[in-house]
Amino acid sequence: MSVSSGVLGITREEASKTRGAAATQRRWFGVGRSAHPDPRTAGAQATREALAGRSASLVTVFCPAEFDFDAMLDGVSAEAAGVPLIGCSGIAHLASGGPVEPCVVVSALGGEGFEVKTSVATNVSDGQRAAGERVAETVETLTSEHKLLLLLADGLAGEQHELVRGAYSVAGATVPLAGGCAADDFHWESTFQFYGDGDGVRVLRDAMVAAAIGSDAPIGVGVAHGWQKTGEPMVATKSAGGRVDELDGEPALDVFAGRIGVDRSVAADEQKFMELALKRPLGLSRRSGEDIRVIHAGNVESGSLQCVADVPQGALLWMMESDRDGLLRSVDDAYADAVAPLDGVPPLGLFAFDCGARYLFLGADGVADEVSRLVDKAGDVPFAGFYTMGEIARWRGAQGMHHLTLVLVAFA
Amino acid sequence: MDYHWSIHQLTEYFEAVTSQDDEWVAIRGAVERAVEGLGAELGVMIRDDQVVACVGLGRAAPAVEAISPAIHGAAVIDVPPLGLLHSVAAWLDDDAREYLVISRIDNEFSGEERQLLQGMARVLGLALRSLRALQIERTLRTERELEAAERLRLLDTLGSRQRLLESMLTIQRAISHRAPSQTVLDAVTAGASQLLDGAFLALVIASPVDGQHRVVSASTPAWDGADYTALVIATAAQAVANDQLVTRTDDDGSATRYTALAAPVHIEGQAAGSLVTVASSDDANVDDWRATLTAFAEQASVALTDARTVEAMRDAYQDPLTGLPNRALFMDRLNHSLQVAARQGTQVTVLFIDLDRFKDVNDSLGHAAGDELLAWFSRRIRESVRGEDTAARLGGDEFAILLEHTVGDSAGRAVANRLSRALREPLRLADRELFVSASVGIAWSGDGAGTADELLRNADIAMYRAKRTGGGDALVYEPTMHTEAIDGLELGPDLYHAASRGELRLEFQPIIDLLNGAAVGVEALVRWEHATRGLIQPNVFIPLAERNGVITEIGEWVLRNGCTAAAAWRATSTPDLRVSINVSARQLDDPAFADLVATVLAETRLPASALTLEITESVLMRDPERAIDRIRPLKALGVRLAIDDFGTGFSSLAYLQRLPADELKIDKVFIDAIETSVEGSAIVRTVAELARTLNMQTVAEGIETRRQHEILRTLCCDLGQGYHFARPLKAEAVPGFFAAAQRPTRPAARARGNRDAHGPLPAPSATVA
């Protein structure tokens, strides 16, 4: 029912929209996407939609790993010339409006309530920690009350925890960290990062790009995984980095195969083993719950398992399990945590970083359900993100690297 | 099964920290991983009061002043820009030069987390020790080629790390596979033995029931068949008592001497046992084992905190009805807390709680209802304390709470208030609504209680006093309560016989002329050497004697013996010595007192002018007219009169003027203040001037420093006494003191208006400080 306002002669709904528009002028957040077959056009269309005629402080770009990046980024630059840009390749994208593949997703934020400083570190695999430190330096120049360091890193650069430790060592506990590791559609070969500082956009590998975002309104970060431990615990009696050689003194592959009831020879078929193992990750015992490790390969000869992130020798591990409902419930939990610091103000927009293994586990229908679930929660709040090879979220505590997890960032 | 997440973090931590070969990287990594492991935001390492590493403030470092309260036990610290943070600190080595402090925004740290951090800190300490040794080796190597033996030692350093790690993994597997507790314990001793080159290793745990230390697991039989169980047990007990690594060598005269090394093992943060190794005393390795044994003991501590082990321990420590710790555990924790508090300079508070009218409930509603009431009450107590506080059922309807890291009595009062609020809600019991109240006594370690028993007893006394006021009240212990409590028990009757049994004796504190340092007299002070209780302090028995009237007999005894002694010294060595005797209110009230003084003076042949009677200001001012009446016949005898404790009562100047007093004794509280405040010295100056106006001498009490002496001299104070000159002396020491103090330090240079009133100056003497 519309009720006239005697003074202005407009309906209450119109008045509400007018107030909303005025309130968001100080800060705005837009998302656009395009599945146009021509990469340049796709880039331009998505950017145009995200900007909606506004002048942005930051543009983010997410697209599949097999794409004509140069043409696509030309299209983006044509619409957002001189605007700082960061982005990366992902397993798939996440955006308001549901899944359409392949697709370019562009988000833009601006308004005088936001301040943005971007940074980049290259040759990350030579020193993950130093890269984290380098990109975090920009947060020291922010003057806003609320801050966030958005991080996008090569998912194959190794020692992902060190990236976050480096960033935390410079950003400190007052600045939340969030983001994800670039992915390549499960080929484990190359991922790509994009960085534009006003003088053109570079396509990088083995890099970490970051945006230090300051805001005069709160920013929230939510994390949830939806997995639970099952069976008896095991001790990683021999491991180094992401390779687990022994569990409880036995070859790790044998223990793992025995637990899930398959023959160890299944590891000979890489694709089959990966699909199997992605659904049965390992969980490390931690104060805050379990820190999840995705197994992505097994070596029949040595009997070892390969995980995406490090499994410390001496760690106590559980097999983890989940189901479709459990994973979908994590959307509710992450959203609730992300908007909690916003003091009841509806978010302007969201970034979403979701694990690629969850994408595989959920399948096409499940992913559609996940996006719908987020839309149910967020209403018409725009969101953008991608399925990653490692999620970054540090809100409380010092640990910020996660796996098989959904991370949401909400801007008030 | 409930797995403790922390048990398994220490091995990971060890691996991460000890795999570094650069000290700075190891420290940084250690701080980071401790922060991550404990879900914290801020981690700081402090060495010699300097911040050497910090994680969580970006590239800034906090002021050490912001962090150091955590080292001294503060549970919350304020670190800009993060604000108030829950904090916990652990030291890396026994010399307490290096600390790891971890802080977080959410949630205070549990006992399990504190223990984990202590383990982490020990691991870091061990890693740094190895790294520093390695660094020395490397430095040597750059100077000259390593000798073969040195190279072997280097390899050994690296090898021991691997062995330690393997041992930890073995223990961890035993725990994760739900091995029987004994298997876990055996893994601990076998692992430690392996690390120490196969040395004998024993795990000794204090029995929760009788407190006796027993070996629960030993690695191998003694290597030489010798029985050194006594040495192992003694060393283990000492390590638990001191809560630190101890070394002990037996010396029974036999050919082979053994050295035992014991590191305390903690269960849920409390020292509960020790890991002990024994070697021949001439074994050169023993010193090298210290750090390894300590680090391994921390690992064993974390392993033993495993749920089942704790459960087994808990059965013997827990009150089955309420689930609260029992008296044995409470006393154990209280003992430990007092030791920690003494080391850290903090205090411990104990609340003794007794349910009011519990017997009525038990008698009228039955034992089942009584049990239900106790269980309900224990829950209310639990709700009123913090996680780290210990609430216990001591037995019957008596409960106690232990609060650590407290200052003053405010924490105890706060808990008592919370409990009182919690009890406002009625209890539904046997179809009735009951309003329950409790009497609470609060005592804290800063209030003179030295041992756990004393502290609990003080709280009990305060509770008893609260109960006497009608219940439902909380009272903080005061020493006078102790006197009253003892009064009703056994001291009262004993005091009647103290003089006749020869249990009283006198000590004499010299009184010094502040101007020239000469000793002019002594104050007689009574002591009670109780036949079974030993020395009882005057502040305990004098108030008691005053209340039950024995003070009259004691006072007479003091007067007679004081005068006898003074007369003897005057006759043999110190002709001008004066003696001051304290007079109680009861004595002063006694119309026959002046006659008694006259008799004693006659009997002892002490000149009246050599006797000063000291009466406290508060006694004199209670009824000044009556006091003046009583003093008059005394003055007529020629004795001197001193107003004692001047400044603590409320003297009326009008009466002061009329009192025929010769001395004003300024109370110690004013003397204490003269060094530190202008007001303090102004008060003393005013009193000295007042005394001079009234033609009295001033005597400063409780002079403890040379500086106080000097200030008092400039303030024109005449006489003084206190530890600066001499503690109270036994009678036999007095002539020697006066003989030594023969000459003044300097000649009298200041005219004193009231000098003539007091007769000639004593013979020149030297100051004895």
| DSSP-derived secondary structure for B360-383 | HHHHHH-HHHHHHHHHHHHHHHHH
- Contact B59/A398, CB-based, under 8 Å? no
Residue A105: its H or E element: strand A104-110
Asked if B117 contacts B90 with a C-beta cutoff of 8 angstroms, the reply is yes
Cβ neighbours, 10 Å, residue B526? 22
Measured between beta carbons, which residues in chain B are less than 8 angstroms from residue A286?
5, 9, 37, 39
Beta-sheet strands, E only, within B514-662 = 519-530, 534-536, 578-583, 611-616, 640-646
Instruction: Name the band, by pLDDT with cuts 50, 70 and 90, for residue B141.
Output: low
Pair of tokens at residue B364: 């009228």
Pair of tokens at residue A18: 């007018």
The answer to whether B365 faces chain A, any CB pair under 8 Å, is no
Residue B274: its H or E element: strand B270-280
Give the residue among A136, A221, A165 at the shortest CA–CA distance from A396. Answer: A221
Within 13 A of A101's CA, how many CA atoms are on the CB side?
Answer: 15
Distance from CA of A41 to the nearest CA of B (A): 42
Q: Indicate whether B752 pLDDT > 50.
A: no
Dihedral pair phi/psi, residue B64, rounded to 5°:
-60, -30
- Contact A397/B41, CB-based, under 8 Å? yes
The answer to whether A231 faces chain B, any CB pair under 8 Å, is no
- Contact A397/B40, CB-based, under 8 Å? yes
Distance separating alpha carbons of residues B300 and A113, to the nearest angstrom: 54
Q: What angle do CA B83, B44, A398 make, to 5 degrees?
A: 70
Is residue B195 helix, strand or coil? helix
Pair of tokens at residue B657: 């003027």
Distance separating alpha carbons of residues B580 and B560, to the nearest angstrom: 12
Q: Which residue has the tokens 């609730």?
A: A336
Q: What is the 3-state secondary structure (H, E, C) of B506-522?
A: EEEEEEEECCCCCEEEE
A60 vs B147 pLDDT, higher one? A60
Q: What is the pLDDT of residue B87?
A: 95
Beta-sheet strands, E only, within B630-685 = 640-646, 663-666
Which residue pairs from B172-175 have beta carbons closer than 8 angstroms and sit at least 24 positions apart in sequence? B172/A235, B172/A314, B172/A316, B172/B7, B172/B8, B172/B11, B172/B303, B173/A235, B173/A237, B173/A248, B173/A249, B175/B7, B175/B303, B175/B306
Among A35-44, A329-338, B263-272, B644-653, which stretch is predicted with the lowest mean pLDDT? B644-653
Measured between beta carbons, which residues in chain A are less than 8 angstroms from residue B37?
286-287
Q: What is the pLDDT of residue B633?
A: 93
Q: Which of A316, A319, A401, A402 to mutate to test the interface with B (most CBs of B within 10 A)?
A: A316
Distance separating alpha carbons of residues B450 and B593, to the nearest angstrom: 40
Q: Which of A139, A169, A246 to mutate to test the interface with B (most CBs of B within 10 A)?
A: A169
For B679: left if phi > 0, alpha if psi spans -120 to 50, otherwise beta; the answer is alpha
- Contact A398/B56, CB-based, under 8 Å? yes
- Contact B32/A165, CB-based, under 8 Å? yes
Distance separating alpha carbons of residues A176 and B4, to the nearest angstrom: 29
Measured between beta carbons, which residues in chain A are less than 8 angstroms from residue B32?
165, 169, 398
**In sequence order, which residues have a C-beta less than 8 Å from that of residue B341 and are 6 or more positions away?**
B347, B348, B404, B405, B445
**Would you state the torsion angle of the CA atoms of residues B725, B729, B733, B737, taken in this order, to the nearest 10 degrees?**
20
| B176: closest chain A residue by CA | A233
- What value does the mean pLDDT of chain B take? 80
Distance from CA of B191 to the nearest CA of A (A): 15
Q: What is the pLDDT of residue A19?
A: 35
The answer to whether A230 faces chain B, any CB pair under 8 Å, is no
Measured between beta carbons, which residues in chain A are less than 8 angstroms from residue B105?
173, 396
Distance separating alpha carbons of residues A180 and A388, to the nearest angstrom: 6
Distance separating alpha carbons of residues A252 and A255, to the nearest angstrom: 5
Distance separating alpha carbons of residues B444 and B403, to the nearest angstrom: 9
- Contact B40/A174, CB-based, under 8 Å? no
Dihedral pair phi/psi, residue B336, rounded to 5°:
-65, -45
Asked if B524 contacts B580 with a C-beta cutoff of 8 angstroms, the reply is yes
Give the residue among B94, B102, B4 at the shortest CA–CA distance from B45. Answer: B102
Give the residue among A334, A53, A335, A315 at the shortest CA–CA distance from B173. Answer: A315
pTM, to two decimals: 0.55
**In sequence order, which residues have a C-beta less than 8 Å from that of residue B89 and are 6 or more positions away?**
B70, B71, B99, B100, B101, B102, B117
Beta-sheet strands, E only, within A124-268 = 146-154, 177-182, 193-196, 201-204, 208-215, 219-224, 228-240, 243-247, 250-251
The answer to whether B144 faces chain A, any CB pair under 8 Å, is no
- Contact B36/A397, CB-based, under 8 Å? yes
For A158: left if phi > 0, alpha if psi spans -120 to 50, otherwise beta; the answer is left
Q: Which residue has the tokens 């109270």?
A: B728
The answer to whether A287 faces chain B, any CB pair under 8 Å, is yes
The answer to whether B165 faces chain A, any CB pair under 8 Å, is yes
Cβ neighbours, 10 Å, residue A405? 26
| B62: closest chain A residue by CA | A172
Asked if A178 contacts A409 with a C-beta cutoff of 8 angstroms, the reply is yes
The answer to whether B112 faces chain A, any CB pair under 8 Å, is no
Helices (H), B573-623: 585-589, 593-604, 617-622
Asked if B481 contacts B461 with a C-beta cutoff of 8 angstroms, the reply is yes
Helices (H), B106-228: 111-143, 148-176, 181-195
**In sequence order, which residues have a C-beta less than 8 Å from that of residue B520 and are 6 or more positions away?**
B511, B512, B513, B576, B577, B578, B719, B762
- Contact B36/A172, CB-based, under 8 Å? no
Asked if B701 contacts B684 with a C-beta cutoff of 8 angstroms, the reply is no
Q: What is the pLDDT of residue B151?
A: 44
Which residues face B280 on adjacent strands?
B258
Tens digits of residue pLDDT in B297-323? 877 776 666 544 545 544 556 677 887
B290 alpha-carbon distance from chain centroid: 29
Q: What is the pLDDT of residue B161?
A: 61
The answer to whether A145 faces chain B, any CB pair under 8 Å, is no
- Helices H, strands E: what count in chain A? 9, 25
Q: What is the pLDDT of residue B153?
A: 52
Tens digits of residue pLDDT in A50-66? 999 999 999 999 999 99
Asked if A361 contacts A333 with a C-beta cutoff of 8 angstroms, the reply is no
Is residue A276 helix, strand or coil? helix
Distance from CA of A167 to the nearest CA of B (A): 9
Tens digits of residue pLDDT in B579-602? 999 999 889 988 899 999 999 999
Measured between beta carbons, which residues in chain A are less than 8 angstroms from residue B176?
232-235, 248, 316
Q: Indicate whether B430 pLDDT > 60.
A: yes
Q: What is the pLDDT of residue B14?
A: 77
The answer to whether B87 faces chain A, any CB pair under 8 Å, is no
Of the segments A20-29, B187-196, B213-222, B387-396, which one has the largest average pLDDT value? B387-396
DSSP B632: H
Instruction: Name the band, by pLDDT with cuts 50, 70 and 90, for residue B617.
Output: confident
**In sequence order, which residues have a C-beta less than 8 Å from that of residue A87 and are 6 or more positions away?**
A59, A60, A61, A62, A63, A152, A193, A194, A209
Distance separating alpha carbons of residues A240 and A306, to the nearest angstrom: 10
- Contact B36/A288, CB-based, under 8 Å? no
Q: What is the pLDDT of residue A6?
A: 30
The answer to whether A24 faces chain B, any CB pair under 8 Å, is no
| B165: closest chain A residue by CA | A314
Give the residue among A96, A163, A159, A56 at the shortest CA–CA distance from A394. Answer: A163
Q: How far is CA B678 from CA A16, A352, B434, B651, in A?
A: 69, 68, 58, 23
Tens digits of residue pLDDT in B37-93? 888 999 999 998 899 999 999 989 899 999 999 998 889 999 999 999 999 999 887
Tens digits of residue pLDDT in A82-119? 999 999 999 888 898 777 678 999 999 999 999 999 99
Measured between beta carbons, which residues in chain B are less than 8 angstroms from residue A314?
8, 11-12, 14-15, 165, 168-169, 172
Asked if A396 contacts A104 with a C-beta cutoff of 8 angstroms, the reply is no
Is residue B428 helix, strand or coil? strand
- How many beta-carbon pairs below 8 A join chains A and B? 105
Segments of chain A with pLDDT less than 70 = 1-24, 100, 288-289
Q: What is the pLDDT of residue B124?
A: 84
Distance separating alpha carbons of residues B744 and B748, to the nearest angstrom: 9
Pair of tokens at residue B543: 């108030």
Distance separating alpha carbons of residues A128 and B151, to the nearest angstrom: 34
Q: What is the pLDDT of residue B165?
A: 67
